[in-house]
Structure 1
Amino acid sequence: MTRQLRTGFLLALQFFSVIPVKKQLPMEKEYITAMYAILPLLGLLFGSVLTSTVWLLRDTTEISSLLLGFIVVLIGLVLTGGLHMDGLADTGDAYFSYQDRDKRLAIMGDPRIGAFGAMALVVAIVGKIILVAESINEASLVWVLLIPVFSRIGLLALFSFTKSAKPDGVAAFFQKRVSHKKLQLVAIVALVISFMLLIWSATFLSAIVLIILLFGFSWLYRAWCLRNFSGVTGDLLGAYVEGVEILLWMSLLFFV
């Protein structure tokens, strides 16, 4: 079990972060399952870095909220290597091509970025900076810590509960090599623990609202993926992470 979790953690760093893991790792079912099960903890690691940054700069310096928002978003991009933003750009190019499903999937697989992908990136990055800047001064450090956790819990659930759009895609490759029941259990347990932390750090109403937003966005996004792409891909999963984090930062303006 210890080796399985250690290997899963290294795989999670290798596939979902910029942290270099220069090692050939096994890709059997138990290790891939562990990799995905580790995602909420990876989100906690990222959240810890963001929380430490906010505490250091917000509470000990006179830095402007706009500059702090820029730094928080930049650190998030650096930690993930821009992986999820890349997925958002590819999703923007594919969806706004207004082609049929097969053509959209082909566009999504094109490594070049188009006009719609570039616009999606600009709107997402600028919008996220503004939202973080507007909410960061009032936000509890626990909320800053948990936003990356919630986005990874949602990613885990979306991956586990939704079929792959492409039989030869990255999502399909991993879906065939995991125990979905174990991942679903991990998602539920991680959600309950995170929810309890929210209640401890904020009001019960705020925690309930955030959970409703998370469930609502995830359900709508899953339905949108099925309707427009017949499933999920690695890019769609990456776009989900960015979308739900933007939504959660926005919620801090109204419910905290």
Structure 2
Amino acid sequence: MKRLGTGWLLALQFFSVIPVKKELPMEKTNVTSMYLMLPLLGGFLGSITAAAIWGLLEFTELSPLFLAFTVVIFGILLTGGLHMDGVADVGDAYFSYQDRKKRLEIMEDPRIGAFGAMALILIIVGKIIVVAEVIDEISLMAIVLVPVFSRIGLLLFFTTTGSAKEMGLSAFFHQQTDGKWIAMGAFIYLAVIFGLFGYWQSWGAAFGLVALLLVLLYVYRKWCLKNFGGVTGDLLGAYVEGTEFLLWTAFLFFI
């Protein structure tokens, strides 16, 4: 239990804006626990967003567009824009049309280029539009579970894909995790979330979202290996944002 508690605090420290002013151990068991906590963190952050939407629905008569804006902005603010930073860096790197080594160097550059800015605009605006289209038709539980789904996919992506670089935070985490435990945890989460989403929303939607998640994981993994030679922190962040966008889009067809 102590390791799980440490993993939860590490997840908050690395993947959210919630302050954890404590120096935590980074041993293999603790970092593995941190990754296993990510779907729970997604559910926690999604619950905060869902609570905000519930308050707006209960006490105001705001438009679906404003509610969608709130969903997207909360997602950015609660993670400190961590995953959006990945979208920008990956956009700049991929559309540079350079070789693999140069693309990895571009992702390390803290400055944002034109392609990165365009990628950010497209995914933020696109996400707002899609959420606005479906927010009147879905339950608040969907707002909670979308970030859980995306982080389950992240666990599978991370544990099945080697690091693209020998150095860096992603490479360090690969060395400090037990992939078998993470993969096992991801499939347990997937089974539980499938049941919850099927019960609260619909079984057809649950099956469709799980199938979509696995297909997206396969396609994105192949694309990363081809263009970057593996995974980096930016590619993981871009995966979370891209997957959430496509999951929200799927509601247009599954709901």
Q: TM-score range by the shorter chain?
A: over 0.9
Query: In 1, distance between residues paired with 2:232 and 2:193?
Result: 26
The runs of 5 or more residues in structure 1 that have no matched partner are none
Query: Cα distance, 1:46 vs. partner?
Result: 0.8
Query: Cα distance, 1:169 vs. partner?
Result: 2.2
Please tell me whether the aligned partners of residues 46 and 147 of structure 2 are also in contact (alpha carbons under 8 angstroms): yes
Please tell me whether the aligned partners of residues 47 and 144 of structure 2 are also in contact (alpha carbons under 8 angstroms): yes
Please tell me whether the aligned partners of residues 53 and 70 of structure 2 are also in contact (alpha carbons under 8 angstroms): no
1:38-57 equivalence runs, <5 A: 38-57=37-56
Query: In 1, distance between residues paired with 2:182 and 2:88?
Result: 27
Query: In 2, distance between residues paired with 1:247 and 1:87?
Result: 17
Q: Which residue of 1 aligns with 2:220?
A: 221
Query: Cα distance, 1:186 vs. partner?
Result: 0.5
1:147 paired to 2:146: yes
Q: Which residue of 1 aligns with 2:184?
A: 185
Please tell me whether the aligned partners of residues 36 and 156 of structure 1 are also in contact (alpha carbons under 8 angstroms): yes
Query: Cα distance, 1:59 vs. partner?
Result: 4.1
Aligned length: 255
Percent identity reads 58
Q: Which residue of 2 aligns with 1:255?
A: 254
TM-score with structure 2 setting the length = 0.98
1:125-136 equivalence runs, <5 A: 125-136=124-135
| Structure 2 counterpart of 1:178, one-letter code | T
Please tell me whether the aligned partners of residues 58 and 137 of structure 1 are also in contact (alpha carbons under 8 angstroms): no
Q: Which residue of 2 aligns with 1:241?
A: 240
Query: In 1, distance between residues paired with 2:198 and 2:59?
Result: 26
Q: Which residue of 2 aligns with 1:199?
A: 198
Please tell me whether the aligned partners of residues 68 and 129 of structure 2 are also in contact (alpha carbons under 8 angstroms): yes
The runs of 5 or more residues in structure 2 that have no matched partner are none
Q: Which residue of 2 aligns with 1:71?
A: 70
Q: Which residue of 2 aligns with 1:8?
A: 7
Summarize deviations over 1:6-28 as a string: whole Å, max 9, x none: 11111000100011111111111
1:89-100 equivalence runs, <5 A: 89-100=88-99
Q: Which residue of 1 aligns with 2:209?
A: 210
Query: In 2, distance between residues paired with 1:238 and 1:169?
Result: 15
Query: In 2, distance between residues paired with 1:229 and 1:59?
Result: 46
Give the ranges of 4+ consecutive aligned residues of structure 1 lying more than 2 Å apart after TM superposition: 58-61
| Structure 2 counterpart of 1:172, one-letter code | A
